[in-house]
Chain A
């Protein structure tokens, strides 16, 4: 296949809007294709397929959201067609809708942001049902008893061996850490207040857990860094915890060419104020720090007005949310490993807190100078559903749009954030970075997010001419074009044409097989045998995700040896 004549944005390869052809064969970008297929992209915007590095799209939490929210299910209903299964849901779409809707946005890859090992089988059952896109899942480690014990004992090699085992048991891709220590404390209804607050019964602090996991992550040379949801997330004044966390790990170096730590949905961790009354943005402080610390990355966690379903392994946060908002509340504790919560809510334009939160996400993206450090997410569906990415793109590209929006919001959005004074407007290249090139780089996916030779043949073509359209003024056209890709090509196959899904191939599932020395593996195994005998409610032999649940694996090797 040859994609002819488009304006190509491929920032990873230094291509900035050049009119050039892209050839794909055997699912990969090649020098020259001879199959005779041609896609006419003349005058259109061509980018690598989008990559979402953080979304909640599969697993127990997501399904809990569906089950407790039939009122969400009735939104976004589309009947079956000859080709497509029926779609339901807006914030918690069914699996088919997840795949179709990503593809329609020109996205070809998305990672589920949190799976507990014990419930990973479920996560993979859902990932298997999501059509078209490639996917993976980040495994939760921040409250696991074995992790807490290894950290307490200062045994990093054993910790690395456990991570290796946990990734393999969960068929997971990387190390996700959510409110480290807080999830364990929630086992008895408690929480941790900051990075130096000891975890009850385990004699470790969040600081030690984060440092330990980061070091072990680097020992294993994993493709992705630790992916951190900070302590005190969602609370006024938490930017101090966030900055303290980053300062606590400045001395740790990455063992691969990538960030050493990814702080996720930073919008929820960049709050000032002593309470909700004097709640304000501290995004400038966070962005300043990132501007002088290139080893860290983050994603926006942009808020979208309207319905959202918050779901996170930060269970104490969710209980607080539910009581505050008098909302439905689901909680799910996972023995020895994690806890999580799900709370539906509505973000209102006239709600002062929500309006400020909305501004914070944009501030973070626009004030952080290097677009490779801050990627676009809505922390789907926590900040809002991913189908709103075109809206976020338009906001990032147009100050005029931001001003229009600000005018419709509670006035505190302007007073308690720096957004009104921010002039920066992202260009096409920036957008290509924050929506595909950087997420792929941050996740450590060398064949994603770019169109160089050997890259996956994943391409998004948008019906927009970047040379004659001013995104600052014509932001509604930008939004429209990104909402319905003219073509989405996945592995060399046209899956979307004119915004409609036309093919539904099965995507692959990435997971990391990280090797460790046998003696370390044996030490961990002995610990685990004891844990299963005494504490787990299932047998060890039934724990690991069987191969039957990952039918199209893409195994990435890493490890000590």
Chain B
């Protein structure tokens, strides 16, 4: 594995857009060349070296053999790992918005928390977050019919609103709670939420959403039966019937319907 370490020189106030921090981009470059890769700090184009210290194995390698280690506060560094196809990115702390945008393969492992739009329009690969994630995990771009189409996202903490909006494939697992409208307009993806959620599966056409905690269920969902999954008794619903959806929603504890 070729390891490259990226360390912010300071805390950023203005966010840095760094879609070029990606194994695919770094792989063919020497460390010297990586230092010259361009990123944006607000409206200023900067060389990576102006904002980050870059160290590690100097020689080019295949992208699948590249590991990029992000050490420090990356909470305002956006679009890391965008469109990456292989290799690994490991963040020791938090990471900013749009990490793993349109990612097709490889792995991003985040020890801290992730900003909004984590894995937006993701197609493959794996993202794991030890902490929490923001809104729109695995969602789409505004107006598009599809968000995430494939791959896997695991969040050990909680996630924000609109988890997996317009999900067209892939799996999202949240061990903690999800916010409002997880799995809205789901079109075939799989979502598992360990804790609670508010109005899951609105306008779901297909796919499954499992809430192992408590959830408020929409009046457009039809109760079917109680099922046993992984030792937990879950109420199974069909919906979202406003759109003749055939999605499956399973909830352990249903907030009193109608209240």
Q: Is chain B in direct contact with chain A in the complex (CB below 8 A)? A: yes
Chain B positions within 8 Å of A72 at CB level: 143
Chain A positions within 8 Å of B142 at CB level: 70-71
Q: Which residue, of B141, B142, B143, B144, has the highest number of chain A Cβ atoms within 10 A?
A: B143
Query: In the bound complex, what is the Cα–Cα distance between A108 and B19 (angstroms)?
Result: 39
Q: Which residue, of A71, A72, A74, has the highest number of chain B Cβ atoms within 10 A?
A: A71
Quote the shortest CB–CB distance from A288 to chain B (angstroms): 41
Least CB separation from B145: chain A residue: A71
- Contact residues of B between 121 and 164, Cβ < 8 Å to A: 141-144
By a beta-carbon cutoff of 8 Å, the part of chain B in contact with chain A is 141-144
Is there a chain B Cβ closer than 8 Å to A69's Cβ? Answer: yes
Quote the shortest CB–CB distance from A347 to chain B (angstroms): 15
Quote the shortest CB–CB distance from B30 to chain A (angstroms): 29
Chain B positions within 8 Å of A15 at CB level: none
Chain B positions within 8 Å of A69 at CB level: 143
Is there a chain B Cβ closer than 8 Å to A68's Cβ? Answer: yes
Chain B positions within 8 Å of A68 at CB level: 143
Query: In the bound complex, what is the Cα–Cα distance between A68 and B142 (angstroms)?
Result: 10
Quote the shortest CB–CB distance from B223 to chain A (angstroms): 26
Quote the shortest CB–CB distance from A178 to chain B (angstroms): 27
Chain A positions within 8 Å of B141 at CB level: 70-71, 74
Chain B positions within 8 Å of A74 at CB level: 141
Query: In the bound complex, what is the Cα–Cα distance between A68 and B144 (angstroms)?
Result: 10
Chain A positions within 8 Å of B143 at CB level: 68-72
Query: In the bound complex, what is the Cα–Cα distance between A272 and B144 (angstroms)?
Result: 33
Query: In the bound complex, what is the Cα–Cα distance between A70 and B141 (angstroms)?
Result: 8
Quote the shortest CB–CB distance from B39 to chain A (angstroms): 16
Query: In the bound complex, what is the Cα–Cα distance between A74 and B140 (angstroms)?
Result: 13
Query: In the bound complex, what is the Cα–Cα distance between A70 and B142 (angstroms)?
Result: 6
Query: In the bound complex, what is the Cα–Cα distance between A69 and B141 (angstroms)?
Result: 11
Least CB separation from A69: chain B residue: B143
Quote the shortest CB–CB distance from B90 to chain A (angstroms): 30
Chain B positions within 8 Å of A71 at CB level: 141-144
Quote the shortest CB–CB distance from B61 to chain A (angstroms): 32
Query: In the bound complex, what is the Cα–Cα distance between A265 and B143 (angstroms)?
Result: 28
Least CB separation from B140: chain A residue: A71
Chain B positions within 8 Å of A70 at CB level: 141-143
Instruction: Mark each residue of chain A from 63 to 98: 1 if its CB lies under 8 Å from any CB of chain B, else 0.
Output: 000001111101000000000000000000000000
Instruction: Mark each residue of chain A from 47 to 70: 1 if its CB lies under 8 Å from any CB of chain B, else 0.
Output: 000000000000000000000111
Chain A positions within 8 Å of B144 at CB level: 71
The 5 closest A-B CB pairs, nearest first, are A71-B143, A70-B143, A71-B144, A70-B142, A69-B143
Query: In the bound complex, what is the Cα–Cα distance between A71 and B121 (angstroms)?
Result: 12
Quote the shortest CB–CB distance from A336 to chain B (angstroms): 32
Quote the shortest CB–CB distance from A321 to chain B (angstroms): 16
Quote the shortest CB–CB distance from B101 to chain A (angstroms): 12
Query: In the bound complex, what is the Cα–Cα distance between A74 and B141 (angstroms)?
Result: 9
Query: In the bound complex, what is the Cα–Cα distance between A71 and B142 (angstroms)?
Result: 6
Least CB separation from B243: chain A residue: A326
Apart from A71-B142, A72-B143, list 4 A-B contacts with CB within 8 A.
A70-B142, A70-B143, A71-B143, A71-B144
Offer 11 A-B interface pairs, CB within 8 angstroms, sorted by A. Answer: A68-B143, A69-B143, A70-B141, A70-B142, A70-B143, A71-B141, A71-B142, A71-B143, A71-B144, A72-B143, A74-B141
Quote the shortest CB–CB distance from A74 to chain B (angstroms): 6
Query: In the bound complex, what is the Cα–Cα distance between A70 and B143 (angstroms)?
Result: 6
Quote the shortest CB–CB distance from A93 to chain B (angstroms): 15
- Contact residues of A between 495 and 524, Cβ < 8 Å to B: none
Query: In the bound complex, what is the Cα–Cα distance between A71 and B143 (angstroms)?
Result: 5
Quote the shortest CB–CB distance from B102 to chain A (angstroms): 12
Least CB separation from A346: chain B residue: B145
Quote the shortest CB–CB distance from B37 to chain A (angstroms): 19
Query: In the bound complex, what is the Cα–Cα distance between A173 and B142 (angstroms)?
Result: 37
